[in-house]
Amino acid sequence: MATIRDVAKHAGVSVATVSRMINDAGYVHEDTRKKIETAIRELRYTPNEVARSLYKRKSKLTGLLLPDITNPFFPELARGVEDEMQANRFRIIFGNSDENSKKEKEYIQTFVQNNVVGVIASTNHPDSDTYRKLEIPVVFLDRTADNRPSVYSDGREGGRMAAQEIVARGSRRITVMQGPGHIRPAQDRYQGAVEALSGSGISFNVIQTSSFSFTEAGTWARELFEKHPDTDGVIASNDIVATAVLHEALRLGKKVPEDVQIIGFDDVPLSSLLTPSLTTIRQPAYDMGKAAARLLIQLIENKDMTQKTIQMPVTFIERDTTRKVEHYG
């Protein structure tokens, strides 16, 4: 592979001159510039990505920050982002913040230092300096902040929907599992559920859960049925937690949905393979990822845009952890 030294020798100029031109770091005479360009072409010299991006005035590298890749919702989002980026000849690098703001900041720095031209971030801190100070386009995904570019689904409506559907199917002693306090979409759906239940005049219990991990989900499921053994309807904070609740209910010998109805959130690929298969509120994860990628590309290319925040609809996916509505409607 040709080096910068080979290019300099071939063009009959110094390495410093080639470097100056590639890095746009000072005056280079037009004739010299042409000689260097010819040498680069003839030797098929590829400057490293950073040099090349300065040279071409545009890199095609973007960064995607995910909060937790062990939650199957996020790999689906990521696939959407990746497919759309690839179709448009952009490349992406991933970071996994693990819901940790220090790790998040480090990943964003890594992205910037590697000259990404844009960032898609699923962050709990869209208002932090990390993003405010970025001089490249940012799209928030699964999150929103003021009127900044973002793609998210209607969590509050999803929560309301879950509550209405479980009530319509006859649950009267409902437990709502409140997701992690620092994860906004979880709080949105929680508030939506509480709103709808409060409006319907049905009393309900709340169990606090502080993460979405598979391991801890089992603990909360046990806590739920210990504290509230007569629960006949569970609105879970996401499908992982719902999976654990279903497992625990069956372990306790309860019939689902006859004794307890369960509604999840997200519709991750696994949910349809559970037995009974999980009724849930679907977020269109893959499409949200694609939409975020399209939005970021438009921002990078300075296209006129009428819509910078995209709210995507959630849908009720009726499966077998809820009863049929005709019996209770």
By CB under 8 A, name the one of 2, 43, 69, 206 that touches a copy of itself.
69
Selected from 9, 20, 33, 173, the binder of a copy of itself by CB under 8 A is 20
Question: Is residue 113 involved in binding a copy of itself (CB under 8 A)?
Answer: yes
Using rule CB under 8 A, residue 72 touches a copy of itself: yes
Answer yes or no whether residue 247 interacts with a copy of itself by CB under 8 A.
yes
Count CA atoms closer than 13 A to 203's CA, side-chain side: 3
Phi and psi for 135 in degrees, rounded to 5? -100, 15
According to DSSP, the β-strands at 61-66 and 118-121 are: parallel
Q: Which stretch binds a copy of itself (CB under 8 A): 35-43, 93-101, 124-132, 226-234?
A: 93-101
CA distance 184 to 259: 31
User: Under the criterion CB under 8 A, does residue 6 sit at the interface with a copy of itself?
Assistant: no
95 near a copy of itself, judged by CB under 8 A: yes
For residues 107 and 89, give the distance between their C-alpha atoms in angstroms, rounded to a whole number.
Answer: 22
Rounded CA separation 104/130 (Å): 9
- In terms of residues, how long is the chain? 329
Q: Which of 6, 33, 43, 94 binds a copy of itself (CB under 8 A)?
A: 94
Element (H, E) at 279: strand 279-282
Region 287-326 residues binding a copy of itself, contact defined as CB under 8 A: none
Instruction: Tell me which residue of 221, 232, 228, 227 sits closest to 262, measured CA to CA.
Output: 232
Residues that bind a copy of itself in the complex, under the rule CB under 8 A: 4, 14-17, 19-20, 23, 25-26, 48-52, 61, 69-70, 72, 75-76, 78-79, 82, 86, 91, 93-96, 98, 103, 106-107, 110, 113-115, 213-215, 217-218, 243-244, 246-247, 250-251, 269-270, 272-275, 277
